Structure 1
Amino acid sequence: MMILPRRHVLRACALALSSLLGVAAPLAGAAAPPQGAPIRVALIESLSGSFANTGEAVFRNIAWAMERVNARGGVALPPAAGGARPLMLVRYDSKGTNEEALSALRAAIDGGARFVMQGNSSATAAALIDAINKHNQREPGKRVVFLNYSAVDPALTNEKCSFWHFRFDAHADMRMAALMEVIREDKALQRAYLIGQDYSFGQAVLREARRQLAAQRPDVAIVGDELHAVGRVKDFAPYAVKIKASGAQAVITGNWGNDLTLLVKAAREVGYDGMFYTFYGNALGAPAALGDAGVGKVVAVADWLPNLPTQGSETFYRAFRERFPSPQDDYVHMRMQLMVEALAQALQQAGSDDPLAVARALEHASVRLYGQAGAMRAQDHQFQQSLVIGVMDRQGAPGVKFDVEGSGYGFRVVRQIAADKAQMPSTCQMQRL
């Protein structure tokens, strides 16, 4: 990949400029614009191809979070480190492949970025971690810190943990354990179908589903267990037919993006009326694809949901909808906001943008936003935060003030799991600097 295309550089500059001027900054009062050189943060994500919608959704979240930081004056550093400096988000398209992601990493480093964000693929995250480990050892003067918002293969903060990698999402085992809080109480469930994407994350989800079902619901028979190619299946009808024919009363899946939307749509079309226990069933077209067939049937686990019954949560969500009024842009994640807050906090505590100093500060990050809070665990760089479980229902039903993507369907919170209950042990043996 070549260095960031000019149109993307201009877009990033426009983003930084709008932030400097206080444009679209609903979460903070106006402050003196930061005058120092921008701190460049690279977003390496699928911005074209099958998962372009997920990449663009992430961009909106992180751009909005940086606008908030810049609107309150940017990152306050000592004069010797440039004084008050804005965050600048620069986009790099990985095109859904590890090879392009690695090329994007090289371009980002050459372009001056020392902080990299990625998340929508655990396989890509693993490749980036390996490349960053080698790069940082080879070129200590150009070290890079990797902030991960969605790649949830448990190995990334266990056997593959790295000093340079920080994960801000709950990993797959944590999410599955949260889902099991509801599955354990679903006494009608006797037969389950497991389906997932055929790469490290999807494999980890199914592996953990088998383990936790055996431990907590040994009475549940697994009547289907299969993996499919990531982002390549255009017609899920054959899978949906098998799910229905199996007699499964529930599907357990970690699918995301179009691989989830097309799966649930196909299930509806063949008349499957069982439950869907999902990691990501609350957004990106899935509720609209299911329609009324999903009411009371789709369960999703998340770090936060718009219908969380707190005033702070509602204020936060309304601010996002004001910033991005199009229903198609309705994809907001609290963890991405907390991640940017943690980066800004670590930069200020480090007193510079030196990646080593910032990484050391990030190990102890503790942030709060609109009543939601989280803290980094230094042992394995796994962010610890509360989780919530939601069930799909019609907008206007009790507990469903807000719908998803203008679909008329939202998620009613049925379980909140505190951070200390959501955490899991780690096998990480990290080498620190």
Structure 2
Amino acid sequence: MNSRFIWRRKALKFSTLALCASTLLSAVSLVRAQSPAPIRIALIESLSGPFANTGEAVSRNLLWAVERVNARGGIPLPGGARMLQLDRYDSKGQNEEALSALRAAMDNGARVVMQGNSSATAAALVDAIDKNNERDPSKRVLFLNYSAVDPVLTNERCSFWHFRFDAHADMRVAALMDVVKDDQDVKRVYLIGQDYSFGQAVLRESRRQLGLQRPDVQIVGDELHPMGRVKDFAPYAVKIKSSGAQAVITGNWGNDLTLLVKAAREVGYEGKFYTFYGNALGAPAAIGDAGVGRVLAVADWLPNVPTPESATFYRAFRQRFPNPTDDYVHMRMQLMIEALAKAVEQAGSVEAMPVAQKLEQANVSLAGRSGRMRASDHQFQQSLVVGMMDRLGAPGVPFDVEGSGYGFRVVKNIDAARAELPTTCKMQRPER
């Protein structure tokens, strides 16, 4: 066989391979071009600064929920199923940064905005989204809130475009008071919170409900501190111990809670902590054995809710995020994504108006837990639980928190009907 023939055969083979590769690339490009664009969800949270751990924890929750929707093929819609895409924006704990992130997210095509780790930021976002949606109906977005629990957001400042999936502060205080009213060892309490709208709301409602349910209890301390700026809580802990309080009631979260309970342990305070968020983000490890039988937390769900469905759900999260310090899973965030997916599918559209109309009728269930959106104020209604800190392996504590060796056993269940509170919202619905 002469060399010219061999060269021609090799050239033909190379040409054929190149043609096949080109055809394959063209086919892939065509499929991509024909695939519907994903539905963009903008997460606006503190991803740096003193509360970065809370933002990252939320991000993991939402990522897991989005992955679950996408794993089943996305959301069926006319023209093809649409996947969800979670885009992260760092608010750096500042309202102006959050508003800048909102503008960037809308410019990037976000249809849904999610935020929660600050009621002050949530209020700023509600105002901005209301104005945007009225000014430019073609670029309307929805705001789904998973943690900003200032009651005004679904009362006098309620918005058609805002949906809250967490129980608001008054609902959480009422759940804690269900335990306080039966705790006859508590005669003196100390109220402490972060000095912004949410912290103020917690203390205000705690005073009101103590007066109604435990008028015999004396409030021996009532103060607010700067949010995210206190590095040493020892002076506060000393005052709490000196007051003779048998219990502290606080809505503190993030490092403001962790540092507070750690300081209380270090000064030898032996009273109870009635908390909103004492079950996560370093608090159990910080307080250690001193918290056993003394630290309580209210939540929409806890890993030790005693049902097989709950245990399976929690184990699935731990399999997805095996690092013990990543242990911060919230059922409400999972239900929120499920409600969004269901509303988009029922609306047959990603446009804000039809999705909002379906979302305000949402009724969703997952892992034995369920909830419904109340259309009158867009406040999600769900059962709540109160847990008591205990050692891993104690009765009712098959799971611990963040590998700390401590978990929370359920001591009180509050069903959705009992947790529900009236609203003062006068919802203004757009005409179109």
Secondary structure class of the residue paired with 1:78: coil
What is the match of residue 204 of structure 1?
Answer: 201
Secondary structure class of the residue paired with 1:85: coil
Q: Any gaps of 5 or more consecutive residues in structure 1?
A: 1-33
Q: Which amino acid aligns with 2:104?
A: A
- Offset from partner CA, 1:267-290 (integer Å, 9 cap, x none): 000000000000000000000000
Runs of 4+ in 1 over 6 A off after TM superposition: none
1:65-80 pair list within 5 angstroms: 65-79=65-79
Q: CA deviation at 1:35?
A: 4.1
2:226 to 214, 224, 229: 229
- Whole-angstrom CA distance in 1 between matches of 2:96 and 2:232: 27
- Offset from partner CA, 1:343-362 (integer Å, 9 cap, x none): 00000011010011101110
Q: Does 1:333 align with 2:312?
A: no
Q: Does 1:241 align with 2:235?
A: no
- Whole-angstrom CA distance in 2 between matches of 1:406 and 1:363: 38
What is the match of residue 375 of structure 2?
Answer: 378
Q: Which amino acid aligns with 1:142?
A: K
- Whole-angstrom CA distance in 2 between matches of 1:406 and 1:370: 23
What is the match of residue 104 of structure 1?
Answer: 101
Q: Which amino acid aligns with 1:59?
A: S
1:90 to 64, 87, 90: 87
- Whole-angstrom CA distance in 2 between matches of 1:183 and 1:427: 27
With the length of structure 2 as denominator, give the TM-score of the two structures. 0.91
- Whole-angstrom CA distance in 2 between matches of 1:66 and 1:250: 40
Q: Does 1:299 align with 2:296?
A: yes
Secondary structure class of the residue paired with 1:383: strand
What is the match of residue 55 of structure 1?
Answer: 55
What is the match of residue 357 of structure 2?
Answer: 360
What is the match of residue 431 of structure 1?
Answer: 428
- Whole-angstrom CA distance in 2 between matches of 1:319 and 1:140: 40
What is the match of residue 405 of structure 2?
Answer: 408
Q: CA deviation at 1:36?
A: 2.3
- Offset from partner CA, 1:118-160 (integer Å, 9 cap, x none): 0000000000000000111111110010000000000000000
What is the match of residue 15 of structure 1?
Answer: none
Secondary structure class of the residue paired with 1:76: coil
- Offset from partner CA, 1:9-56 (integer Å, 9 cap, x none): xxxxxxxxxxxxxxxxxxxxxxxxx94210000000000000000000
- Whole-angstrom CA distance in 2 between matches of 1:426 and 1:53: 32
Q: Which amino acid aligns with 2:320?
A: R
What is the match of residue 259 of structure 2?
Answer: 262
Secondary structure class of the residue paired with 2:224: strand
What is the match of residue 42 of structure 1?
Answer: 42
Q: Does 1:135 align with 2:132?
A: yes
Q: CA deviation at 1:175?
A: 0.2
Q: Which amino acid aligns with 1:412?
A: R
With the length of structure 1 as denominator, give the TM-score of the two structures. 0.91
Secondary structure class of the residue paired with 2:425: coil
- Whole-angstrom CA distance in 2 between matches of 1:322 and 1:36: 31
Q: Which amino acid aligns with 1:68?
A: R
- Whole-angstrom CA distance in 2 between matches of 1:236 and 1:173: 26
- Offset from partner CA, 1:301-330 (integer Å, 9 cap, x none): 000000000000000000000000000100
- Whole-angstrom CA distance in 2 between matches of 1:402 and 1:371: 18
- Whole-angstrom CA distance in 1 between matches of 2:100 and 2:88: 13
Q: Does 1:195 align with 2:192?
A: yes
What is the match of residue 347 of structure 2?
Answer: 350
What is the match of residue 316 of structure 2?
Answer: 319
- Whole-angstrom CA distance in 2 between matches of 1:244 and 1:43: 40
- Whole-angstrom CA distance in 2 between matches of 1:136 and 1:364: 21
Q: Which amino acid aligns with 1:115?
A: V
- Whole-angstrom CA distance in 2 between matches of 1:399 and 1:138: 53
1:112-191 pair list within 5 angstroms: 112-191=109-188
Secondary structure class of the residue paired with 1:208: helix
- Offset from partner CA, 1:155-183 (integer Å, 9 cap, x none): 00000000000000000000000000100
Q: CA deviation at 1:404?
A: 0.1
Q: Does 1:274 align with 2:271?
A: yes
Q: Which amino acid aligns with 1:176?
A: V
Secondary structure class of the residue paired with 2:279: coil
